[in-house]
Structure 1
Amino acid sequence: MPTARRSVLVLAVVSAAEAQFPVTYKTVADWETGFNGQISVRNDTAQPLRSWQLEFDFARRIESIWDARIVSQSGGRYVIRGAAWNDVIGPGQSVTFGFGGSPGGVTRGPENFKVTAGADPPPAGAAAVVTVRETGRWMGGFSASVQVPSPGDAPWSLWLALDASVDSAWGATMTRGEGLYVFAGTGAVFGFTGAGVLGPVSRCRFNRADCAVTLLSFQAAAQPRPPISIEGDTESEPVTQIALRPGLTSLRLRVESPAAPRFRAVSANPGVARASIRGDLLELEAMGPGSTSVRIDDAAGGASRTVGVKVGQPGLPPYLALGSVSEDTADHLDFWRSIDTGPRNRRMDIRYIYLNGGPVNGWDTWGASPGSRAVNYIRNSRMLGMIPFFVWYNIPDGSESYELDLAHVQSPGYMTAYFGNLRLFLDIVRRDAAGDTVGMILEPDFLGYLAQNAGQPAERIRAATHAAYDSGLLGSADPRFPDTVQGLVQAINYAISRKAPNILFGWQMNLWASPAGGWTTAIPARGLIRKTDEAGIDAGREAIRLEAAAIARYYLDAGVADYGAHFLSIDKYGLDAVGLESHAAADPASSIWFWNSDHWHNYLAFVRAVHETARLPIVLWQLPVGRINRSLEENPYESTGRFAELANTHQRYEDSAAPFFFGDTFAVSGPRRDYFGSNLSGDPGVTTGEETVAWRPHMEDAVRAGVRAILFGAGVGASTSGTGVSATDGFWWITKAQRYFSAPVPIDP
């Protein structure tokens, strides 16, 4: 739970290069073992300062840096250069970068500053060769990656004369003229998207010298040929999803095997589509709107294949939906493909993944082509019959804090890259998820940090919203949003609604988004949800409701509900309770996050207050999957019928979220029995025996609080995992999920 730390300001304004480039240092946070610092460089000349470089002496160790890069360090002398998006400082403008270091207790900042302008390195004797590779092609547009001769860590510039219209770039900054595009950066590879067809490059200049261009046209990669062929497959594009019409659909199957095939088919959700085999025909019967997956096995040859099935144009199901974090690794994909019947099935409504890392060298570079992480996730989600949700988390990049997030949204260069990155994602959704629903949870923690630390509403906090227009995401025909955080939020919502209307999206809210002293009540040291511990159940819960409504109003004033937002998202904490505090296993009453039933009812009171204030559905996100040990739930995977205890070590920690919502009975004694058996709320579903505590399911309570979907999953690498063929919770969570699906809680229309 982030908290405001003591901030010590150490200002050092000095003259550099005859007072032309003043430098300001500020310690923005300081604690015993470390600190965060921030440096601003201003250009007081009438000319741009290109490829700026800053040197200084500092008697502290810099361990991480953002919005700049350390070129060299010798003793206490540092040499810093700008990032790709801020290496030019315009006349009268400033750049700001931040860093973290140790030890804390900073009383003397950096000194002996020296600011210089870099120069483009001279070209090599032979003409440089630039490779332009078309990485994607669709109706009306294309994407491309560009490899330049890497000049080490020195900035470069590239001029390309193109017939095509380039819309946005990533990994480099871009300015445009009539058919001429100027890119600038430091990395060896960058990319761009455009409209029309990527034709020949008529002129190329690299670092102001003519260069040669190698243009590689797009070649669609053939998908691996499945071991079982389905009618409709092509050589390059196997069927991933079958759209059913009412009645029965028959598709011929084929397998290359010397033995006569013996096919078997099973549907993950027979309520959407039933699957059966007649000879070599796969027969699918549409039962109701929705999406599911069907597994086809050949018992003779051992081949297997999974394909998605949809009926109608499904969005969220008509019941309280369930979802899980899920990567596109073989471990996770094989887990979901293991469709069965009963409690060993793998039915799921939603799977989610992070798109993070920032707009430069972030998620869009983690694959064979720009954005392939999202492209593949959409494709595999179709195959699995699930709605893909993306956690869009790019205001921070390598780390996050209030200071870093604020610096990024106020940086025109960073936000131009950010909006170009968002445009790439929206183009992918429009192209690759046409006709399907996609979910999007926006910028976790960002507005929470502002609510906690800024001391003013979002409409008064400066942000480089105009970068949405500079990037080409928005144009002159779109509304002009102000350069404030409120305008930034509204611009993001508007762009998503306009560019990709099949996306269900909402902003994430934090339980801890209260300033010092709270909005309406003092916040306990162990968090708002623990308010009833000190104030009593009635007064404490009312205080929680009032504070939740005040937090919601801050977010609403920031624009989160504007321009078609579909929901708000609320999490708990990304790590299981005992993973954060090892003492919580023996003494849960003293913990922050190992909640009993009363605390969970407090949580639902918070959720309901947000729902009623915002008048939007709620998506609970990233709830831990750890359980309370000694569960008496029947284990369908073990002959003993019992689940092994979690060891409360790495990836095997206890938590109480899943037991509360799914319901569970667990053996418990002593202080743990007293704590987990607490029932000051008068919940008739909490019963305590001599050595057991039973919690009934609370899915109906969640629906009454305004919850539309619950997404479970590990928030950090140390968290307990409920997915993967080696799920570290021993398959308890997926078993409970399948038993929930036997009678899911309906949502009133």
Structure 2
Amino acid sequence: MRNSFSWIKALLWAGILTIASTPASAQGGRVHRLLPAHFMLGLANGSSELEWLRNARVPIEMRYQYLSGGVNTGQGWTTWRPKARYAADYVRDSRAVGAIPVFTYYNMLHSRPARGSSESEKVYRNLNNPETMRAYYEDFKLLMQRASAAGDRAVVHVEPDLFGYLQRDYADGGRRSAREVSAAVASTGMQELRGLPNTGQGFGRALLRLRNRYGRGVLLAIHASDWASGTDIGSSQNPRVDARGIGVRTGRFLRGFGEGWNLVFVSPSDRDAGWMDRYRPGGTHWWDPANRAFPNFERYRQWVDGVSTGADLRVVLWQVPIGNRRYRTMNNTEGHFQDNRAEYFLESRNHIADYVRAGAIAILFGAGAAGTTHYDDRQRDGITNPPPINGNTLISRYTDDDGGYLRLAITRYYRVGSVVVPR
């Protein structure tokens, strides 16, 4: 089925349909030739959600899927379809709907033996286990081969949390470099990795080498965690936090994992603020959209600016919560939790332009945990319009758990014209 918004995408990629005001400057590296010179929107969209995307005809430009389960457990992505076909099928399906496929490669924590008392310790010990890492690099190599053979471009987003754990727990918040963090690389005995140091830098260079050799058209994205410095940018109420300085330090730490990364991903929050209020009460989960109280969007933008500058890479805001405060559907019950991040970006093009000037190039919306808000009818409760709870008075006519907010807001963004990202 041909995407009925293909004409919008054709104009976008031709540089014809763009917002008139272009940000004067932007931090970070050049926009890669495989990416458009405008701000992109995307969704978490697995194979089971592809039908919704086709039927809703939402003109997203990126769709992402976790590849997880571990590399030596018999449950990883290579087992999801016969002959390790899942990744290639996902690339082809993405191309058919006009979207760039994005894989979040999240396997270090879930691989064996994963010994330790915390996630950080389990990740670090696996990273230093030659047998585990041999399986890891072989699995990554296969992904490069499958993704490259199936299409002309894909993004592989490497290990959210891993780089944050290394920075916070094994590199003094980024005051030490990736060269001072140990990792199993050449010690795995994998022929392609001969000569690489057994360090964090060697780990990054190993992935880059495998991409360069086997992954034509694959862009690699490293991950910056907003808590890795020891100060949580997304929750701190301290008005004296130097968000940009912390971001620069994090970006420079990430540069130590080798030259050749194409993007850096960040996660403003992976769960709706309403969900966090219910299940993790007592924290500062809501960001002030007026940017007066902390935490807020402007402070986070400053941190993004620092990360982009320090890493010399464009930034993708990833797994941004889906909830809103507009529709009566959003009554802070299971699957219908409120948040204000989607509103902040999708209801103000100036806010997007501000983030573009800080180095951002895309937002990918996605639910980060069970029970958080989703854009389809994940709760299977149909159209719901319970009484408003805090001014959320719009009536929904969609079965979507967010009331249809994302499908309408994303379509509106592209119909008006996307925000330019200077090359």
Tell me the TM-score range normalised by the shorter chain. 0.7 to 0.9
- 1:448 alignment partner in structure 2: 164
Partner SS for 1:482: coil
- 2:248 alignment partner in structure 1: 549
Partner SS for 1:660: helix
**Taking structure 1 as reference, are residues 379 and 530 closer, same or farther at Cα in structure 2, changes over 3 Å only?**
closer
- 1:395-426 residue CA offsets vs partner (Å, 9 max, x unmatched): 11168711101110111110111111111111
Partners of 1:661 and 1:701 lie apart in 2 by 10
**Taking structure 1 as reference, are residues 414 and 426 closer, same or farther at Cα in structure 2, changes over 3 Å only?**
same
Partners of 2:110 and 2:63 lie apart in 1 by 23
- 1:2-46 residue CA offsets vs partner (Å, 9 max, x unmatched): xxxxxxxxxxxxxxxxxxxxxxxxxxxxxxxxxxxxxxxxxxxxx
**Taking structure 1 as reference, are residues 596 and 272 closer, same or farther at Cα in structure 2, changes over 3 Å only?**
closer
Given candidates 460, 464, 479, the residue that maps to 2:184 is 464
- 1:528 is matched by which residue type in structure 2? I
Give yes or no for the alignment of 1:730 onto 2:414: no
1:356, distance to aligned residue in structure 2 (A) = 1.0
Q: Is the CA contact 1:652–1:719 (under 8 Å) kept in the aligned structure 2?
A: yes
Q: Is the CA contact 2:319–2:367 (under 8 Å) kept in the aligned structure 1?
A: yes
**Taking structure 1 as reference, are residues 657 and 467 closer, same or farther at Cα in structure 2, changes over 3 Å only?**
farther
- 1:204-244 residue CA offsets vs partner (Å, 9 max, x unmatched): xxxxxxxxxxxxxxxxxxxxxxxxxxxxxxxxxxxx9xxxx
Given candidates 580, 587, 593, the residue that maps to 2:285 is 593
Given candidates 67, 76, 79, the residue that maps to 1:355 is 67
Give yes or no for the alignment of 1:534 onto 2:238: yes
Q: Is the CA contact 1:575–1:714 (under 8 Å) kept in the aligned structure 2?
A: yes
Counterparts of 1:194-205 in structure 2 under 5 Å? none
Give yes or no for the alignment of 1:701 onto 2:354: yes
- 1:653 alignment partner in structure 2: 337
- 2:405 is matched by which residue type in structure 1? W
Counterparts of 1:246-395 in structure 2 under 5 Å? 267-272=4-9, 289=14, 315-329=34-48, 332-338=49-55, 345-360=57-72, 361-395=74-108
Partner SS for 2:301: helix
- 2:197 alignment partner in structure 1: 482
1:288, distance to aligned residue in structure 2 (A) = 5.9
- 1:448-487 residue CA offsets vs partner (Å, 9 max, x unmatched): 112221245321222110156x344x166xxx21011111
1:729, distance to aligned residue in structure 2 (A) = 0.7
Query: Which structure carries more strand by proportion?
Result: 1
Unmatched tracts of structure 1, length 5 or more: 1-239, 241-264, 274-285, 291-312, 340-344, 516-522, 632-642, 664-694
Given candidates 125, 140, 143, the residue that maps to 1:422 is 140
Partner SS for 2:238: helix
Partners of 1:376 and 1:654 lie apart in 2 by 34
Partners of 2:270 and 2:3 lie apart in 1 by 34
Give yes or no for the alignment of 1:618 onto 2:330: no
1:649, distance to aligned residue in structure 2 (A) = 2.0
- 1:644 is matched by which residue type in structure 2? R
Q: Is the CA contact 1:363–1:373 (under 8 Å) kept in the aligned structure 2?
A: no
Partners of 2:211 and 2:196 lie apart in 1 by 14
- 1:395 is matched by which residue type in structure 2? M
- 1:744 alignment partner in structure 2: 418
Partners of 2:128 and 2:12 lie apart in 1 by 52
1:551, distance to aligned residue in structure 2 (A) = 2.1
- 2:368 is matched by which residue type in structure 1? G
- 1:486 is matched by which residue type in structure 2? Q
**Taking structure 1 as reference, are residues 647 and 333 closer, same or farther at Cα in structure 2, changes over 3 Å only?**
same
1:723, distance to aligned residue in structure 2 (A) = 4.0
- 1:593 is matched by which residue type in structure 2? H
1:713, distance to aligned residue in structure 2 (A) = 0.6
- 2:270 alignment partner in structure 1: 574
- 2:130 alignment partner in structure 1: 412
Partner SS for 1:698: helix
Q: Give identity over the alignment, percent.
A: 26
Partners of 1:506 and 1:266 lie apart in 2 by 27
Partners of 1:499 and 1:563 lie apart in 2 by 17
1:619, distance to aligned residue in structure 2 (A) = 1.0
1:700, distance to aligned residue in structure 2 (A) = 0.9
Partners of 2:270 and 2:283 lie apart in 1 by 15
Partners of 2:200 and 2:193 lie apart in 1 by 19
**Taking structure 1 as reference, are residues 314 and 568 closer, same or farther at Cα in structure 2, changes over 3 Å only?**
closer
Q: Which moved more, 1:363-372 or 1:735-744?
A: 363-372
**Taking structure 1 as reference, are residues 492 and 347 closer, same or farther at Cα in structure 2, changes over 3 Å only?**
same
Partners of 2:160 and 2:410 lie apart in 1 by 26
Partner SS for 1:581: helix
Counterparts of 1:705-716 in structure 2 under 5 Å? 705-716=358-369
Partner SS for 1:270: helix
Partner SS for 1:267: coil
- 1:317-364 residue CA offsets vs partner (Å, 9 max, x unmatched): 2310111000101xx12211125xxxxx41110100001111122333
Partner SS for 1:547: helix
Partners of 2:376 and 2:132 lie apart in 1 by 35
Q: Is the CA contact 1:506–1:567 (under 8 Å) kept in the aligned structure 2?
A: yes
Q: Is the CA contact 1:417–1:471 (under 8 Å) kept in the aligned structure 2?
A: no
- 2:261 is matched by which residue type in structure 1? A
- 2:36 is matched by which residue type in structure 1? P
- 1:113-161 residue CA offsets vs partner (Å, 9 max, x unmatched): xxxxxxxxxxxxxxxxxxxxxxxxxxxxxxxxxxxxxxxxxxxxxxxxx
1:716, distance to aligned residue in structure 2 (A) = 1.5
Unmatched tracts of structure 2, length 5 or more: 16-31, 379-398
Partner SS for 2:47: coil
**Taking structure 1 as reference, are residues 609 and 584 closer, same or farther at Cα in structure 2, changes over 3 Å only?**
same
Partners of 2:254 and 2:329 lie apart in 1 by 40
**Taking structure 1 as reference, are residues 366 and 475 closer, same or farther at Cα in structure 2, changes over 3 Å only?**
closer
- 1:732 is matched by which residue type in structure 2? Y
**Taking structure 1 as reference, are residues 491 and 353 closer, same or farther at Cα in structure 2, changes over 3 Å only?**
same
- 1:534 is matched by which residue type in structure 2? N
1:371, distance to aligned residue in structure 2 (A) = 2.2
Q: Is the CA contact 1:506–1:566 (under 8 Å) kept in the aligned structure 2?
A: yes
